[in-house]
Structure 1
Amino acid sequence: MRTVRQDTNIAKERLVRGLALALLVLMALWCVAGPSGVLAWGENQRLLELREKQLVDLKGDRDRLKNRVALIDPKHMDPDLAGELVRSHLNVARPDEMVMQLP
C-alpha cells in the first residue's frame, strides 16, 4: 500500500522529469529553428555570397576612385581629366559641340 508521502515523491519526480524533457525539447527547437540554427544556415550562406559580391564591386569602385584621385593630383594633373572635369562641372561645352585642341 502506498502512502501519501510516496505519492507526492512520485509526483515531484514526474514533474522534474517533465520539466527537464520540456527544456531539452526547447533547446533542440532552438538549435533547429533559432537565428543561428540549421534552418537559418542556408539563408546565412546566401547572404554571405551576396555580401562577397558587393565587396568585390566596392573594391572595384575604390580602385577606380583611387586612380581618379591620382590623376587629379595638383603636382601633375592629367590634361584630359582636367578638360573632362571642366566641361562636366562648368558646362563649358554643349553636347552638340565638338572640342578640338590645337597644338
Structure 2
Amino acid sequence: MVTRARLKSILTGLALYTMAAAIVGYFGINAYTGKYGLNARQELDQEIIALTSELAQLKRERTRSEQRVSLLRSQKLDPDMLDERARFQLDYANPHDLVRMNPTN
C-alpha cells in the first residue's frame, strides 16, 4: 500500500509538471508564430518598408502631376502645355512637326 500511494503522488506531480510544460509551450509557440508574434512583427516591418517606398514614389508622382496641372491654370497658362494637351486629345499634329509612325504587327 505504501508503494502505491508513493507511486500515485509521483505520477500526480509528473502529470502536473507535464501539463504546466504543455501550457507554457503552447503560449511560447503562439508568442513566436501567432498573429501578433515575432514572425508577424518581422513581416509587418517588411510591409511597412515596402509601403513607405511606394508612398514616396506616389508623392513624387503627385508632385509632378500637380506641377503639370498648375501650368494649365488660368492665372498662368503655359501656351506650350495647352498646345500639347490639345494636340494629344484631338489627335492633331502641326504641319511642321516630324511624325514617325510605328508599324504594329
Q: TM-score, normalised by structure 2?
A: 0.67
- Following superposition, the deviation at residue 3 of structure 1 comes to 9.1
1:21 maps to which residue?
Answer: 21
Whichever residue aligns with residue 47 of structure 1, its letter is E
Alignment of 1:35-46 (within 5 A): 35-46=35-46
28-37 vs 53-62, which moves further: 28-37
- Distance in 2 (CA, whole Å) between partners of 1:37 and 1:97 is 66
Q: CA deviation at 1:41?
A: 3.6
Secondary structure in 1 aligned to 2:74? coil
Question: Is 16-25 or 32-41 further displaced after alignment?
Answer: 16-25
Percent identity at matched positions? Answer: 23
Aligned to 1:84: 84
User: Structure 2: how far apart are the matches of 1:10 and 1:3?
Assistant: 10
AA aligned to 1:37 is G
Query: How big is the shift at 1:22?
Result: 2.4
Partner residue in 2 for 1:61: 61
Within 2, Cα distance between the matches of 1:38 and 1:17? 27
Tell which deviates more after alignment, 19-28 or 60-69: 19-28
Superposed displacement of residue 44, structure 1: 2.6
Is residue 2:105 matched to residue 1:98?
Answer: no
Cα deviation code 1:29-49 (max 9, x no counterpart): 011112332233433332222
| Distance in 1 of aligned mates of 2:24 and 2:76 | 70
Output the CA distance in 1 between the equivalents of 2:65 and 2:17: 65
Instruction: In structure 2, list runs of 5 or more residues that go unmatched.
Output: 99-105
Q: Across the two proteins, how many residue pairs are aligned to each other?
A: 96
TM-score by length of 1: 0.68
